[in-house]
Amino acid sequence: MAIELPTQPKVGMVSLGCPKALVDSERILTRLRADGYAMSPDYAGADVVLVNTCGFLDSAKEESLAAIGEAIAENGRVIVTGCMGNEAEAIRARFPGVLAVTGAHQYEDVVGAVHEAAPPSQGPFVDLIPQRDVDVKLTPRHYSYLKISEGCNHACAFCIIPQLRGKLASRRIDAVLREAEKLVASGTKELLVISQDTSAYGVDIRHQAYPWKGQEVRSHMTDLARELGQLRTPEGRAPWVRLHYVYPYPHVDAVIPLMAEGLLTPYLDIPFQHASPNVLRAMKRPANEAKVLDRLRSWREICPDIAIRSSFVVGFPGETEADFQYLLDWLDEAQLDRVGAFRFEPVEGASANDLPGAVPDEVKEERYARIMEKTEAISAAKLGAKVGRVLPVIIDEVGEPDEDGDRGATGRSQADAPEIDGSVFLRDVSAALKPGDIVDVLVEDADAHDLFGVIAES
């Protein structure tokens, strides 16, 4: 007599916001799969839908609320988690039918809510089946986010991250390195190190040291960077290791030689936010823009190929035309490789909302257009200088052949992080090329954001 195993309940997931939230989604789904749940790619097949929300800006909150509304309309059984979870009353007032609301990185709570809404169907036979020791990934197989800490100790006037995610809470360095090693062994070719403040990693645990590979390593950014640089893929290659959310503290200088040696990807994502000392003080951020320019120059002397990306806020309360012009002049000096800009947007609970000197929306728009024009020109010149060079490129996607049989591909150089920077478009690639391959590319052309080329002849 055949034994009929119980049907696995299915969970759908909508993940919004930053890469840190994406990692939270991966952890939640990994835990649920270990508990016997299957994943549903659509609303119709899900017994319950999780919406991992973003609550950083009012516009992000509206996107989160729209996603919750869509999930309720399409499925009806919805659990809300993530950064907007601290506004449970507002969510329930708008959507009284939600099953549960939990906050950011409250893994036990959200898993418990799923268990209650759609109980796991494991019985005495299913419990004997070992779960695969493979984590759920929401990114392509060849790159992975590596979250090293939660929360933040800064008190920036425009930000409510500490209220949403708490103070800095660093992971043990041996746990981080074990996860990185496991990811690389399973096919990750690019590790993207993320946190709210990567440079402050380990401050909260006094940089406690732990045994790793026969030595003691501190829970410190420089030790972490050095050890990540020792990782190798099954093919024996060093994976790309990309550092995000790096505040320019003095000890960051120590990782630049690792980039020059090829142990780290020559790329730093630094949240400058502005350059004017007046605006930086109002933002409650360090006002040391002149020293930063000196350090950028010294970093480029050590590692000429280093790419610096950053983001800036325009229209912050009290920002004058002189402050904004100071920022434009600073960008001329800094020559950053990749820049994003945002119009200041009040965030409920942020102290900046009470500052005098609100900048009119039309002025914000005009300044936004000017900073984008400035940074686009800098980017175009920097990318144009790469024409004729041969650069390593990681492949993200390989296209189908066109009517002439020619096949193209899309990848990224070491100066390009996924989703936020530019791309490298390749022509005439082999059908054997696949995502995750790292190839040398001869750059043939460039525009303001992207490169175009062909795989270099060996």
Q: Which residue has the higher pLDDT, 244 or 123?
A: 244
Say if residue 303 carries a ligand binding annotation: no
Any binding-site annotation on 18? yes
Tell me if 2 is assigned to some domain.
no
If asked whether residues 365 and 437 sit together in one domain, one would say no
User: What is the structure's pLDDT at 3?
Assistant: 46
Higher pLDDT, 42 or 383: 383
Would 138 be classed as within a structural domain? no
Count structural domains, the chain.
3
Q: CATH number, domain at 428?
A: 2.40.50.140
Last residue of a domain, one of 128, 161, 189: 128
| pTM of the predicted structure, to 2 decimals | 0.85
Burial class (CB in 10 A: 0-12, 13-18, 19+), 250: exposed
The residue that leads in pLDDT, 324 or 140, is 324
Give pLDDT, residue 391: 97
- pLDDT digits 0-9 by tens, 73-120: 999 899 999 888 888 888 999 999 999 999 877 888 888 999 998 888
Which domain covers residue 74, as residue numbers?
Answer: 10-128
Q: Tell me: do 249 and 289 sit in the same domain.
A: yes
The answer to whether residues 296 and 148 belong to one domain is yes
CATH number, domain of 238, equals 3.80.30.20
- The pLDDT value given to residue 368: 97
pLDDT of residue 129: 44
* Helix or strand (DSSP H, E) at 79: strand 78-82
Q: Is residue 349 part of a domain?
A: yes
* 258-295 pLDDT per residue, tens: 999 999 999 999 999 999 999 999 998 865 666 889 99
Please give the share of the chain, as a percent, with pLDDT higher than 70: 94
Please list, in sequence order, all residues whose beta carbon lies within 8 angstroms of the beta carbon of residue 152, skipping any fewer than 6 positions away: 159, 161, 162, 165, 167, 168, 196, 197, 200
Q: 305 and 364 share a domain?
A: yes
The pLDDT assigned to 271 comes to 92
In a domain, 134, yes or no: no
Distance CA 304, CA 417 (A): 18
Report how far apart the first and last C-alpha atoms of the chain are (Å, whole number): 62
Q: Has residue 257 been placed in a domain?
A: yes
- % of the chain surpassing 90 pLDDT: 66
> Could you tell me if residue 1 is inside a domain?
no
Same domain, 94 and 237: no
Tell whether residue 159 is among the known ligand binding residues. yes
d(CA 278, CA 406): 55
259 plus 402 within the same structural domain: no
328 and 311, same structural domain?
Answer: yes
Q: Is residue 136 part of a domain?
A: no
> What is d(CA 382, CA 198) in angstroms, rounded to the nearest whole number?
27
Is 5 inside any structural domain? no
Last residue of a domain, one of 72, 98, 128: 128
Residue at a domain's end among 128, 151, 176: 128
Indicate if 82 and 191 belong to the same structural domain.
no
- Integer Cα distance of 5 and 335 in angstroms: 62
Indicate whether 114 and 255 sit together in one domain.
no
